[in-house]
Amino acid sequence: MAEISVIEHIHSMQLKWSPTATGQFTSLLHDLILSAKIISRSVTKAGLVDILGGTGDINVQGEQVQKLDDFANSVMIYRMKNCGVVCALGSEEEDELVIIDKDKAYGNYVIFFDPLDGSSNIDANVSIGTIFSIYRVNDDTELTKEKILCQGTNQVAAGYFLYGPSTMMVYSTGHGVYGFTLDPSVGEFLLSHENIKIPETGKYYSANAAYYDRWSNEDKKAMDLFNHGDYSLRYVGSLVADFHRTLLYGGIYMYPADTKNTHGKLRLLYEANPLSFLMEQAGGLAVNGEGKRILEIMPEQIHTRTPFIFGSKKEVEKYRSAFN
């Protein structure tokens, strides 16, 4: 079988869907992939070099910063700032949007990323990942926050890298979801999961059930619809890993609002939007606690959070039935 690299795949998708492409997007993906390979290299060596544990700092989200978090963030920021096609970027680890100086090589793309999602799991060697969400601005006037913050339906691409037993890249440009596995012997991501579709129904449900007492009555009722022998509970606590399992096996993931995180915990721009883009492309659903499509939520600011429920159609509809 021909082994198709991710860049080859991006080229073939562009020929099919946007034949007048300028090469900017491929260039962005190239630098993104390079960043992920560098992060993956450090993740796999984490127990051998002094990169485990915390830096002692607390990030903008109020969480402890791990050394690998810090490293992944600086790799992503450096590469995205210098790839020549990005005009603005937002990182889950940074307080503010970064607008690239106009005197640098400069393009039309805006990228949001969570450089190392699930980082509280790092020291236990549990799967973690990098999530990305890409937009294009077709306007040469001064960039402002207002121009950049928009609904997730405007994403031109989204995806993630999963640093697990193998390193994977899963992405979509709005024409299906494709998965690639890093073959370390050739240093390339090779197509391993063609046109991924989530099963219409699945037996896994996933939520931090320890928060049950903090949920609304509706969310408790929804949880009770799954918390019995027809389903099986899986919760890694590393969103990329929980998402990847749900995408492949089906079922439901729920991180509702609770009395501590009254707007939910997960971030719209870095986590919920890109993963909802993939989920919908794979034939699943992604909604907030009110049943609103995640991709239609207008962010109030770059660190806006949202309740996040996604998965197979049947299970997400079942979740929603608890609210009727």
The residues binding ligand AFP (CB under 6 A) are: 63, 117-121, 208, 237-239, 242, 265
**DSSP per-residue string spanning 156-199:** SEEEEEEESSSEEEEEESSS--EEEEEETTTTEEEEEE-S----
Q: By C-beta, is 117 or 188 nearer to ligand AFP?
A: 117
Q: By C-beta, is 108 or 276 nearer to ligand AFP?
A: 276
The partner residues of 178 in beta bridges, in order of sequence, read 171
Answer left, alpha or beta for residue 279, where phi above 0 means left and psi between -120 and 50 means alpha.
Answer: alpha
In sequence order, the 6+-apart residues with CB closer than 8 A to the CB of 91 are 73, 76, 77, 98, 112, 113, 114, 115, 270
Residue 62 has a CB neighbour count (10 Å cut-off) of 6
Q: How far is the CB of 27 from ligand AFP (least distance, A)?
A: 29
Q: By C-beta, is 167 or 246 nearer to ligand AFP?
A: 246
Q: By C-beta, is 23 or 237 nearer to ligand AFP?
A: 237
Q: By C-beta, is 109 or 319 nearer to ligand AFP?
A: 319
Q: With H, G, I as helix, E, B as strand and everything else as coil, classify residue 40.
A: helix
Phi, psi values for residue 261, rounded to 5°:
-105, 85
* Cα torsion angle, 211, 206, 70, 85, sign: negative
Q: By C-beta, is 219 or 242 nearer to ligand AFP?
A: 242
Cβ atoms of residues 68 and 122 within 8 Å: yes
Q: With H, G, I as helix, E, B as strand and everything else as coil, classify residue 310.
A: strand
Q: By C-beta, is 238 or 312 nearer to ligand AFP?
A: 238
Cβ atoms of residues 303 and 60 within 8 Å: yes
| Alpha-carbon Rg for the chain in angstroms | 19
Q: With H, G, I as helix, E, B as strand and everything else as coil, classify residue 55.
A: strand
